[in-house]
């Protein structure tokens, strides 16, 4: 679906995408290398491909040069001289930024970071697990964390992941009062939390990944943070310059998140949600992570995401890496569901997993191939916009300019 109102996408001014409909309009092309016939230093690498997606637009017969771990130039292939540079001729291939996963649980679920990186995701925001310092790049997965999920005693995720062998202290932090909530937010932010996450989840949703495959210590309904506690979390996080993501799955949690002014839903809700609440979410500008694949058996998932798309919601790719039933890397089925259930183009969906996700993290131009961006990129043989499955096992993976996977030399 293409917006009737075109808006310029200006990475150098670090503006957030603001399209009037689903995913926003495709912006102006990223900055190209202006000087024709640029001679690159010996330490540079030039990648040529039939298709180059720069995080915003798709180009044909383009090249990207990399120097000292960053993108040094992008433009038509003929503008780049081979002298003094290593050149990789990728041919009939698609070159694009590595994906940014906004909903992962790597640390808590012991998902190997190297596995995720080798399968096309170069950056992960971990939203529920131990609070760890931001790390990665230069050949390793970039990782930021939210720390444990704020809840109340006995609230989700404690009934599911609080049994022996898990230890809810890693994934959940219960509070009993608004003041305790504020103090917890302060500690999380001081510890480097990328975002604050709260669980507004009474449990019992049919088809939800947290309702199947896990034996809860206590049956639902589970207690949820009150509106006062939720508002305290949001207010304190905003005061400290952080946003709040809410785990929501049904109407009660959705309504509480909206009343408190939560910035993000960690999932498209599992149960059917009224048009009134979905419209309010769009009016508030709530960012919504998809997680359609892992919630594909939920009764309301298709209805909710289609309605949100028609209303112009800010929908973002998110696969919730951790579950064994989905790939630990790029999830092609997630891409298919987003395209087919929302009417978005593949290019628009790719934007939400690259350039727009980098903006969400406050790390632009990460997620693009613009000049100065970290050289986190992947490439596949063939046309990735026509065959998403190719992305699950990339033929080239680079992190911070260092090659992690290279099948083009075979």
Domain identity same for 112 and 91:
no
Backbone angles phi and psi of 308, in degrees to 5: -60, -40
* pLDDT category of residue 18 using cuts at 50, 70 and 90: very low
Which segment of 59-73, 161-175, 245-259 scores lowest on mean pLDDT? 161-175
Among 254, 162, 243, 148, residue whose Cα is nearest residue 201? 254
pLDDT beyond 60 at 356: yes
Measure the CA–CA gap between 180 and 318, rounded to whole angstroms: 30
Per-residue pLDDT at 64: 98
Domain identity same for 397 and 263:
no
Q: What percent of the chain has pLDDT over 70?
A: 87
Question: What is the average per-residue pLDDT within 189-211?
Answer: 93
Per-residue pLDDT at 324: 86
* pLDDT category of residue 169 using cuts at 50, 70 and 90: low
**Residue 5 falls within a domain, yes or no?**
no
Domain identity same for 390 and 339:
no
Domain identity same for 269 and 252:
yes
Domain identity same for 169 and 130:
yes
Per-residue pLDDT at 292: 98
Measure the CA–CA gap between 70 and 87, rounded to whole angstroms: 16
pLDDT beyond 90 at 3: no
Per-residue pLDDT at 81: 80
**Residue 133 falls within a domain, yes or no?**
yes
CA 83 to chain centre: 38
Domain identity same for 159 and 62:
no
Domain identity same for 89 and 122:
no
Q: What six digits make up the tokens of 138?
A: 């230069």
**Where residue 34 sits, what CATH number does that domain have?**
2.30.40.10
For residue 135, count other CB atoms closer than 10 A to its CB. 12
pLDDT tens-digit readout, 35-56: 333 433 437 999 999 999 999 9
Number of C-alpha atoms within 13 angstroms, CB side, residue 162? 19
Q: What percent of the chain has pLDDT over 90?
A: 79
**84 or 61, greater pLDDT:** 61
pLDDT tens-digit readout, 315-337: 999 999 998 889 999 999 999 99
* pLDDT category of residue 280 using cuts at 50, 70 and 90: very high
**Number of structural domains in the chain:** 2
pLDDT tens-digit readout, 98-147: 999 999 999 888 999 999 999 999 999 999 999 999 999 999 999 999 99
Name the pTM for this structure. 0.90
pLDDT beyond 60 at 213: no
**Are the CB atoms for 237 and 260 separated by under 8 Å?**
no
Domain identity same for 37 and 70:
yes
Per-residue pLDDT at 215: 64
Per-residue pLDDT at 11: 39
Measure the CA–CA gap between 55 and 336, rounded to whole angstroms: 18
Domain identity same for 120 and 156:
yes
**81 or 362, greater pLDDT:** 362
Domain identity same for 211 and 107:
yes
* pLDDT category of residue 183 using cuts at 50, 70 and 90: very high
Domain identity same for 163 and 119:
yes
Q: Pairing relation of β-strands 244-247 and 264-265?
A: parallel
How big is the chain by its Cα radius of gyration, in Å? Answer: 21
Average pLDDT, the chain: 89
**Cis before 157 (ω within 30):** yes
Per-residue pLDDT at 163: 54
Helix (H, G, I), strand (E, B) or coil at 71: strand
Per-residue pLDDT at 84: 83
Measure the CA–CA gap between 281 and 255, rounded to whole angstroms: 9
Measure the CA–CA gap between 377 and 398, rounded to whole angstroms: 5
**Residue 15 falls within a domain, yes or no?**
yes
Domain that holds residue 223: 99-360
* pLDDT category of residue 211 using cuts at 50, 70 and 90: low
**Residue 6 falls within a domain, yes or no?**
no
**Are the CB atoms for 339 and 306 separated by under 8 Å?**
no
**Are the CB atoms for 184 and 150 separated by under 8 Å?**
yes
Residue with tokens 């150098």, as numbered in its chain: 12
Domain identity same for 149 and 293:
yes
Per-residue pLDDT at 221: 94
Measure the CA–CA gap between 328 and 121, rounded to whole angstroms: 9
């Amino acid at each position: 679906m293409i917006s009737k109102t075109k808006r310029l996408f200006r990475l150098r001014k670090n503006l957030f995408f603001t399209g009037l409909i689903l995913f926003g309009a495709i912006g102006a092309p990223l900055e190209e290398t202006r000087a024709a016939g640029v001679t690159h230093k010996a330490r540079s690498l030039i990648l040529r491909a039939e298709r180059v997606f720069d995080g915003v637009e798709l180009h044909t017969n383009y090249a990207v040069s990399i120097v000292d771990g960053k993108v040094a130039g992008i433009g038509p292939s003929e503008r780049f001289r081979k002298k003094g540079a290593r050149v990789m001729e990728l041919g009939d291939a698609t070159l694009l930024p590595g994906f940014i996963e906004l909903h992962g649980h790597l640390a808590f679920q012991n998902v190997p970071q190297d596995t995720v990186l080798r399968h096309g995701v170069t950056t992960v925001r971990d939203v529920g697990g131990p609070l760890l310092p931001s790390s990665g790049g230069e050949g390793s997965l970039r990782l930021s964390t939210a720390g444990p999920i704020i809840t109340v005693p006995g609230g989700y995720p404690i009934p599911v992941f609080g049994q022996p062998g898990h230890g809810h202290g890693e994934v959940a932090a219960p509070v009993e009062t608004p003041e305790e909530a504020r103090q917890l937010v302060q500690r999380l932010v001081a510890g480097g939390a990328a975002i604050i996450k709260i669980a507004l989840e009474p449990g019992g949703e049919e088809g939800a990944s947290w309702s199947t495959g896990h034996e809860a210590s206590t049956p639902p309904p589970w207690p949820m943070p009150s509106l006062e506690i939720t508002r305290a979390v949001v207010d304190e996080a905003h005061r400290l310059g952080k946003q709040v993501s809410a785990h929501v799955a049904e109407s009660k949690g959705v309504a509480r998140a909206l009343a408190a002014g939560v910035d993000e839903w960690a999932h498209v809700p599992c149960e059917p949600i009224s048009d009134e609440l979905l419209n309010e979410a769009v009016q508030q500008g709530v960012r919504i992570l998809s997680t359609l694949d892992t919630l594909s058996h939920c009764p309301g998932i298709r209805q909710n995401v289609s309605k949100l798309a028609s209303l112009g919601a800010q929908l973002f790719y998110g696969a919730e890496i951790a579950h064994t039933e989905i790939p630990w890397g790029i999830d092609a089925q997630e891409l298919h569901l987003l395209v087919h259930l929302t009417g978005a183009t593949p290019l628009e969906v790719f934007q939400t997993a690259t350039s727009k996700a980098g903006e969400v993290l406050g790390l632009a131009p990460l997620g693009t191939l613009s000049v100065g961006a970290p050289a986190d990129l992947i490439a596949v043989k063939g046309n990735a916009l026509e065959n998403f499955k190719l992305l699950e096992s990339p033929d080239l993976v680079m992190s911070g300019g260092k090659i992690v996977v290279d099948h083009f030399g075979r």
